[in-house]
Amino acid sequence: MGLAHSASPTDEYGDGSTPMGNPWAGPRCYNAPQQWQLGWSRPLQDITATTLAPGSWLTVQLPGLVLQSASFVRVTPTWNAGATTPTYFISYRPA
């Protein structure tokens, strides 16, 4: 599948909410970055400095991650030009 392990800051397998962190903990679904890498879901919205000006806010209604293909928000912080920052994925995984 080509997915990396779901880690925490101190443990390579530290994210127990996904099979890539702890596959033996019972039923789990993949998180938003993993579902995107697998081609199973796509961003409901992409947020960058172009789509969200500093000091402004945005309301997004998130569906459950597995309920539709466009189901997460991807935030790429480009407000500080030239800085290397991670991309953030915001999703809702219903129980």
| Residue 74 and residue 52 in one domain | yes
| Residue 44 and residue 86 in one domain | yes
| Residue 46 and residue 82 in one domain | yes
69-84 mean pLDDT? 87
67 occurs within a structural domain: yes
pLDDT single digits (tens) 11-38? 777 777 777 777 676 677 888 988 999 9
Beta-carbon neighbour count of residue 19 at 10 Å? 20
| Residue 10 and residue 44 in one domain | no
| Residue 54 and residue 13 in one domain | no
Beta-carbon neighbour count of residue 17 at 10 Å? 14
| Residue 85 and residue 46 in one domain | yes
Question: Whole domain around residue 47: which residue ranges?
Answer: 40-90
| Residue 48 and residue 16 in one domain | no
Distance CA 53, CA 61 (A): 19
